A = this chain, B = another copy of it.
Amino acid sequence: MRHSLFAGGKRLRPILCLAAAEALGARSGELLAAACGLELIHTYSLVHDDLPAMDDAPLRRGAPTSHVVFGEAVAILAGDALLTLGLSVLARHPEGGRHAAARLEVLVSVTQAIGSEGMIGGQVSDLEAERNSLKSPDLLSSIHEAKTGRLIRASATAGGRYAFASEDVLAKLDAYGRALGLAFQIKDDLLDVESDAETLGKRSGSDSAARKLTFPAVWGIDRSRQMLAEKTEEAITRAGSLPGAGRRLVELARFVEQRRA
Residues on A lying within 8 angstroms of B by beta carbon are 1, 48, 51, 53-54, 71-74, 76-77, 79-81, 83-85, 87-88, 91-92, 100-101, 103-104, 107-108, 111-112, 114-116, 120-121, 123-124, 127
Contacts and interface: CB of A to CB of B under 8 A. Distances in A.
A77 B108 contact: no
Contacts of A72: 53
A51 B77 contact: no
B115 A84 contact: yes
Contacts of A108: 88, 91-92
Contact of A73 (B53, B81, B84, B107): B53
Contacts of A71: 53
Contacts of A74: 124, 127
The quantity of this chain's copies bound in the complex is: 2
A interface, by DSSP: helix, strand, loop or mixed? helix
A69 B106 CA distance: 34
B53 A85 contact: no
B85 A111 contact: yes
A191 B101 CA distance: 45
A128 to B, nearest CB: 10
Contacts of A85: 111, 115-116
A130 to B, nearest CB: 10
A66 to B, nearest CB: 12
24 contacts: A1-B116, A48-B76, A48-B77, A51-B76, A54-B76, A74-B124, A77-B120, A77-B123, A80-B80, A80-B120, A81-B121, A84-B114, A84-B115, A84-B120, A85-B111, A87-B107, A87-B111, A88-B108, A88-B111, A88-B115, A91-B91, A91-B107, A100-B100, A104-B104
Contacts of A121: 81
A46 B104 CA distance: 27
